[in-house]
Chain A
């Protein structure tokens, strides 16, 4: 070990001792629920005691509801100038707003106080730049721990029954979807199946949403080379929706809708409804994450004991292009309130985060109670599924502070499971989804600031596309031109120009799209 890190460690130990001598530091941490199906940790959670005894920290943990409710709660705390000391931000609009209002503190001075964590997680200058203003870094930008985990899953038993091959092109996809809808693939004599199930969804976990019809149809736009909001080609930068191929992809989705091979409820269904329906066995093909599949397999095989699922590579478009969608290499974002930094809580925050990074803290926050919630099998944490998630989930609500996506961790999170006598090696499925999806890196999107009328822009694009796809509007040269011309009234050019400036400044406009 070199002398520098030794001194830093010594300083950290001395700081801990000094803090203990002064009495515990109150630390308010707010994170989104890692397990929304479980309550917050109980008051007698051993972590509270350990932090008090070993680190001199009196932890107060607030669990935020996931989704917009959690964002709104943070927004309300910000409006009351009562932000927690350390908290997670998932809404980039909120991050920008807090930054603009001066409610966030630069985190630069935390880095030397938590050397191990910083080295592993915050040493990528490009990722840090996403949350920087001039030389000051305003957030602990983690690398992504879960991305590119979505895929199209196909009922192989239905393919076999109808004598079909897994589709590899859009045209084959259409034909297979049609057969699944019209040729009674489950053999029950009823017309109750659909070729494809997907919904309009903009969830940010594992896939990066863009302007348009949401995550579940990115693979169609990917087949035409226009997945995501922006074209990162520096010589032809523009919003992808201006590309003629964007219209062609939209026309393909319209074709699926017109042929009635998509569940006709798709435009109103929520993700939970979609999950219920594929588990019931209504769809021959559906868009789902590996994690979502893992959670639903038990139900699926209870309803469809003879089914077999396979993962489909993203279908190729007319020019041979394919991609399951876009992703960002930036993951969870933790920030420190200015009030916390001003009141000298930086040392306590750094101690806490360094503790959560490895060893005791990592296992306690990431995996729960050893021997109860998990055991170590060949060093791989193995979750005790006998304890329901509604119980063990309470003890891992802060897991995102600990997890770092190392291979052993991924094996623990996506283990080998047996459902209805079938073996599923989930981490291998995850690796496969990541490898064969031709995913497109669009990390730069994270740096692009929202337009002042962002909600109107998002509505305009998505609403028009839905109208085209549902046949509420014809797609022809005139209507498509009207759609594109209408963007002018939303000052879309200014948004586009600002995005280009940002992406150039941050170095994301590369000669060829980053894979």
Chain B
């Protein structure tokens, strides 16, 4: 039997490759947990993390009792769940379509084009949305007006804001999300498709009985990861897109924390909310993982 040292030495190349990732998690994920104690203190920089006075659960209490708490939680959950529900099917469909096409050039072109929006910042996407949705000269509203219809203030209407948020996210991220599913499809043994074709299975039947079951594992993985961050509804996107008329449906926990916690320099409050989000995410991911293992046999760990 090899000793630990011998094994480390034997696989030194692999461990070396692991090192940067480990360091990243230690420095940026685990070390900050020590400082997360300021959520329970009235943080005073002069006194340091350790010297700041304890205030118990005061910051959590302030957050839960804040005027807009219920609305913030509702908006965060609605937008987050809607993004998951509306975001996964198009990515799966795109991956299957790319996998199924026999024209490689077309497949690569579509993949590249659908990829591109992922690299645009939300500020640029806001500019594009304004050019399309603006009630004064937006493309879509000009189209509506050409048919004698009233322009719709998509970005300032409480009825349309959440759909705009969700659909713009779907437009921006579908190509990127499809990569994972495409990789899963490519890892399916081609012999299965060949055997099915010999047995007379149509393309649709191949998709239904080979491709889709082959995606289950990745689908569960993606879903679990998204559930773990369900209280992250997309700060950057909302921050750029929202405005006063749609705060009632657009303000989420993170934008509130930015205004109340960061802009007012209440770092302890901001940390408390971060911990709260992390705790909820942890509970949900453990629960969802358990259910996924029970129902599908696939799980994260």
Interface residues of A (CB under 8 A from B): 68, 71-72, 75, 78-81, 91, 93-94, 97, 101-103, 192, 194, 200, 263-265, 267-268, 273, 338, 450, 452-456, 459-460, 462-463, 466-467, 470, 472, 489-490
User: Are A455 and B263 closer than 8 Å at their CB atoms?
Assistant: yes
Specify which of A71, A194, A456 is in contact with B260 (CB 8 Å cutoff).
A456
B57-79 with Cβ < 8 A to chain A: 62, 66-68
Query: If A80-B45, A97-B265, A102-B46 touch, does A460 touch B67 (CB 8 Å cutoff)?
Result: yes
In the assembled complex, how far is the CB of residue B173 from the closest CB belonging to chain A, in whole angstroms? Answer: 23
In the assembled complex, how far is the CB of residue A342 from the closest CB belonging to chain B, in whole angstroms? Answer: 11
- What are 26 A-B contacts with C-beta separation under 8 Å? A79-B43, A81-B48, A91-B265, A94-B265, A101-B45, A101-B46, A103-B45, A194-B136, A200-B244, A264-B134, A264-B151, A264-B153, A265-B130, A267-B156, A268-B155, A268-B243, A268-B245, A338-B46, A450-B264, A453-B66, A453-B67, A454-B260, A455-B256, A459-B247, A462-B244, A472-B245
Q: Which residues of B contact A460 (CB under 8 A)?
A: 67
Specify which of A103, A265, A489 is in contact with B67 (CB 8 Å cutoff).
A489
User: Are B67 and A463 closer than 8 Å at their CB atoms?
Assistant: no
How many Å lie between the Cα of A490 and that of B62 in the bound state?
12
Interface assignment of B248: CB less than 8 Å from any CB of chain A: yes
Specify which of A97, A103, A463 is in contact with B247 (CB 8 Å cutoff).
A463
In the assembled complex, how far is the CB of residue B70 from the closest CB belonging to chain A, in whole angstroms? Answer: 12
User: Are A459 and B155 closer than 8 Å at their CB atoms?
Assistant: no
How many Å lie between the Cα of A68 and that of B264 in the bound state?
10
B85-133 with Cβ < 8 A to chain A: 130
Query: If A75-B265, A91-B263 touch, does A264 touch B135 (CB 8 Å cutoff)?
Result: yes
Q: Which residues of B contact A200 (CB under 8 A)?
A: 243-244
In chain B, what residue has the closest Cβ to A71?
A: B263
Specify which of A68, A79, A463, A467 is in contact with B263 (CB 8 Å cutoff).
A68
User: Are A267 and B243 closer than 8 Å at their CB atoms?
Assistant: yes
Query: If A75-B265, A200-B243, A460-B67 touch, does A265 touch B248 (CB 8 Å cutoff)?
Result: no
How many Å lie between the Cα of A438 and that of B181 in the bound state?
65
How many Å lie between the Cα of A455 and that of B261 in the bound state?
9
Interface assignment of B262: CB less than 8 Å from any CB of chain A: yes
User: Chain B, interface size: which category?
Assistant: 20 to 34
Q: Which residues of B contact A264 (CB under 8 A)?
A: 134-136, 151, 153
User: Are B134 and A265 closer than 8 Å at their CB atoms?
Assistant: yes
User: Are A453 and B244 closer than 8 Å at their CB atoms?
Assistant: no
Interface assignment of B251: CB less than 8 Å from any CB of chain A: yes
Specify which of B45, B137, B151, B264 is in contact with A455 (CB 8 Å cutoff).
B264
Specify which of B44, B156, B248, B262 is in contact with A470 (CB 8 Å cutoff).
B156
Interface assignment of B29: CB less than 8 Å from any CB of chain A: no
In chain A, what residue has the closest Cβ to B154?
A: A268
User: Are B244 and A463 closer than 8 Å at their CB atoms?
Assistant: yes
In chain B, what residue has the closest Cβ to A450?
A: B264
User: Are B46 and A81 closer than 8 Å at their CB atoms?
Assistant: yes
Interface assignment of B267: CB less than 8 Å from any CB of chain A: yes
Interface assignment of B286: CB less than 8 Å from any CB of chain A: no
Interface centre among A80, A267, A455, A472 (most CB of B within 10 A): A455
In the assembled complex, how far is the CB of residue B3 from the closest CB belonging to chain A, in whole angstroms? Answer: 43
How many Å lie between the Cα of A91 and that of B68 in the bound state?
24
How many Å lie between the Cα of A103 and that of B44 in the bound state?
9
Interface assignment of B259: CB less than 8 Å from any CB of chain A: yes
Specify which of A79, A94, A450, A456 is in contact with B45 (CB 8 Å cutoff).
A79
In chain B, what residue has the closest Cβ to A74?
A: B265
How many Å lie between the Cα of A510 and that of B137 in the bound state?
48
User: Are B156 and A268 closer than 8 Å at their CB atoms?
Assistant: yes
Interface assignment of B219: CB less than 8 Å from any CB of chain A: no
B228-260 with Cβ < 8 A to chain A: 243-245, 247-248, 251, 256, 259-260
Interface centre among A93, A194, A268, A489 (most CB of B within 10 A): A268
How many Å lie between the Cα of A424 and that of B251 in the bound state?
44
Interface assignment of B82: CB less than 8 Å from any CB of chain A: no
How many Å lie between the Cα of A215 and that of B124 in the bound state?
26
How many Å lie between the Cα of A65 and that of B4 in the bound state?
51
